Each structure stands twice: as C-alpha cells, then as structure tokens.
C-alpha cells in the first residue's frame, strides 16, 4: 500500500523555497507515495511544473474564496486574514489520514497550523533560513516569532536545510535540540527552452536573487563601482525582481549605468549564469541558496559571504577550487573577487547534481518514517 504524504506551502511563485519544493516533487517515487500538495494560493510561475501525479488541494470551499485569497485588493486581504489564520485553521482541515504531513514553507502561520492539526502519523516542519538572525535584527519578526513559536511543539521534528541553520535555530530554541535535524534541499536544475538574454563583457559577473534587504545587492553595486574605478573591465548583471528603485538609484549615483545591468525576472537562470566568469553572492544570511547549486551545475565559480547556508555549500558540497568564502564586508568581498578574476578559482571543476540529489532523497525518505 502506498504511503500518503501531505505537503503544505503558500504558493508556487518564483523563489528559493518553491524551487526546492519542485525539485523534491519531481524526485518522489509515485509508485510508492501518494502526495497531496496544499496551496493557499493556486498561482505562480512554477505551478505548471508540479508533476501530474501530485494532487493539488486548497482549503477553499468555492471559487469565490479562491478569488479572494489570490487577489491583491486590500479588502480581499483583510477577508483572507480573517478567514485563514492560526485560530481558524482547524475549520478548514479534511479528515484524511496521512503517514506524514509536512509544513514545507515553515513560516506562514495558517499553513503551519493546518499541517500541525492534520491527522498524520508524523509531522515535520521546515526551517529554510536563519531565524535567529531575523529574531535579533527585526523587532516585528521577534514579536511574531514569540507569538507563534509554540507551533514547533506540535511537530515530531524540525527540519533545517543546513548544519549552520540548525546550529542557529538551536541557539534560538535550545529546548528543541533533540528533535532538530538537517535535510539538504533537493535541487531542480530546470533545463528549459525559455529565451534568455545574451551577455557581453571582457569579464562578466552575475548575481541572482529577489531584490530585498537580505540579499544586500547594494554591496554588489558598490563592489562593481570599485572594480571599474580600479580599471578592471567588468560588466555585472543582476537577475531578479523586487525592490529595484534603490538599486537603480545607486547605479545612477555611481555612474555605472553602462556596466551594471538589471535583467529583471528570468525563467532560464542557468543559461544566464553559464555566460559568466564569476557568480557573486552578497547576502547577510541564507538557508541553503539554490542559486549556488545552479552556479556549480553551470560550471561557474562563485564568491559568497561567510553566512549560514553558503558556508555549508563551500565546506561540505562544492568541489575544490570552485568557490571562495569572504567575510561579510566590502573589503573581504573585493579581495576575493579579485582573487577569483585572477584565476584563484576557475571553471576546471565538476559537480554532479544528480548524485547530490539522490543522497538527499534517501535522507528525506528516512525522515518521513515514524
């Protein structure tokens, strides 16, 4: 008899969590497992990549509720948060029995509560990022975390996506040490036929990510300006959407409009990365950044900040001579970028993403066992 799994997340928009979930769903053996995927929003660029064997479910009772939840209208948002929240979650749950239920997003109160209250033999909740960093730097997040942190008591295991994430989570929640485990993400390297821009430049640097405070692309613009000032002929391309206005202002301020190029949201990221001499990651914190796996698979070396997730990839996963860790400051990042451009790391390495994914899938199956 097949095992029954329930996996819950918010939506399938482009993002690191969603990309790794697609990777997992594509790897599961559906001869052995029946999978229900709970989505609060049934939209997103990745929705069509969900395998046909997956049964998509939502807590909506009718199409009107679905339209309300998917709407960005302020009134609809108020209705959504009134109907779908931590307190009301039990009302929307079906009575189906599962062998394992997983809150894969791990951050959205309604999904977390829904999965926690589901009829399942084992319940797992994922941690994809450095919650301790957010707790210590974001006052609003700290309030929210303290309000909902008891949710972890309802789960059999807390699953962290890297050793460093686990370490930081235990410092934040020491009482959960014995039930906190590590599960590296399965990575879907999306080989598609989508169009992509052709890059040009004597030396090409690429970075990818949602433009937000976490990614610190302001540092990337400053680093680029410094390279140009020091007569290094380089073009930097940034892939991603989000809060672009501040980045545009910096590009204009530093007068690098011709050499720092914003590419916006792209669906064929790896083909863009393949054209680079170097990938640079400037984040203040991470979970287990998917884009670095895409970079390794594209046979492009990277420089990254020595933060959660990134250091795990460098220390445990990446081939030798494929990457450099920099301290999280401009001076160290600049020095490592210069080292990389001068050949200290290069494209003479091999990375087998399928071997990595197979190991991760075996560990995932083990963690679902009661």
User: What is the value of pTM for the model shown?
Assistant: 0.88
Q: What is the chain's alpha carbon radius of gyration, rounded to the nearest angstrom?
A: 21
Among 237, 248, 247, 240, smallest CA distance to 205 is for: 237
pLDDT at 67 over 90: no
d(CA 292, CA 316): 13
State both tokens at 153.
């008591």
pLDDT at 66 over 90: no
pLDDT at 87 over 70: no
| Band of pLDDT at residue 57, cut at 50, 70 and 90 | confident
Distances (CA, A) of 164 to 160, 169, 205: 9, 9, 27
d(CA 89, CA 87): 6
Residue 72, pLDDT score: 73
pLDDT at 79 over 80: no
What are 213-238's pLDDT values in tens digits? Answer: 999 999 999 999 999 999 999 999 99
The mean per-residue pLDDT over the stretch 149-170 comes to: 97
Residue 299, pLDDT score: 95
| Band of pLDDT at residue 358, cut at 50, 70 and 90 | very high
Higher pLDDT, 71 or 2: 2
* Alpha helix (H) residue ranges in the chain: 16-27, 63-70, 74-83, 109-116, 131-137, 139-148, 163-172, 217-229, 244-253, 269-273, 290-297, 310-312, 330-341, 353-368
pLDDT at 104 over 70: yes
């Amino acid at each position: 008899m097949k095992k029954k799994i329930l996996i819950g997340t918010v939506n399938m928009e482009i993002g690191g969590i969603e990309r790794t979930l697609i990777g997992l769903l594509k790897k599961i053996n559906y001869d052995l497992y029946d999978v229900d995927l709970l989505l609060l929003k049934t939209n997103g660029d990745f929705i069509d990549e969900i395998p046909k064997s997956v049964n998509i479910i939502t807590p909506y009772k009718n199409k009107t509720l679905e339209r309300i939840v998917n709407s960005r209208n302020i009134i609809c948002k108020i209705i959504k948060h009134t109907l779908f929240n931590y307190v009301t979650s039990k009302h929307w749950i079906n009575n189906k029995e599962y062998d394992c239920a997983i809150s894969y997003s791990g951050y959205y109160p309604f999904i977390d509560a829904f999965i926690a209250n589901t009829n399942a033999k084992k319940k797992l909740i994922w941690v994809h990022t450095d919650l301790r960093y957010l707790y210590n730097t974001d006052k609003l997040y700290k309030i929210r975390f303290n309000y909902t942190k008891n949710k972890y008591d309802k789960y059999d295991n807390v699953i962290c996506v890297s050793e460093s994430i686990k370490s930081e989570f235990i410092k934040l929640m020491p009482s959960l040490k014995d039930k906190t485990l590590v599960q590296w993400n399965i990575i879907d390297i999306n080989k598609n036929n989508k169009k992509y821009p052709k890059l040009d430049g004597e030396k090409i640097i690429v970075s990818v990510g949602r433009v937000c405070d976490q990614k610190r692309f302001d540092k990337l613009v400053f680093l680029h300006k410094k390279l140009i000032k020091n007569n290094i002929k380089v073009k930097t391309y940034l892939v991603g959407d989000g809060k672009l206005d501040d980045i545009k202002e910096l590009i204009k301020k530093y007068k690098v409009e011709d050499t720092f190029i914003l590419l916006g949201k792209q669906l064929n990221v790896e083909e863009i990365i393949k054209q680079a001499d170097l990938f640079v990651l400037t984040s203040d914190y991470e979970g287990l950044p998917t884009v670095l796996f895409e970079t390794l698979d594209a046979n492009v070396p990277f420089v990254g900040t020595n933060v959660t997730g990134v250091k795990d990839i460098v220390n445990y996963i990446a081939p030798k001579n494929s990457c450099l860790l920099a301290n999280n400051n401009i001076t160290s990042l600049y020095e490592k970028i210069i080292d990389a451009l001068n050949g200290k790391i290069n494209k003479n390495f091999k990375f087998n993403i399928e071997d990595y994914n197979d190991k991760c899938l075996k560990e995932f199956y083990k963690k679902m066992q009661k």
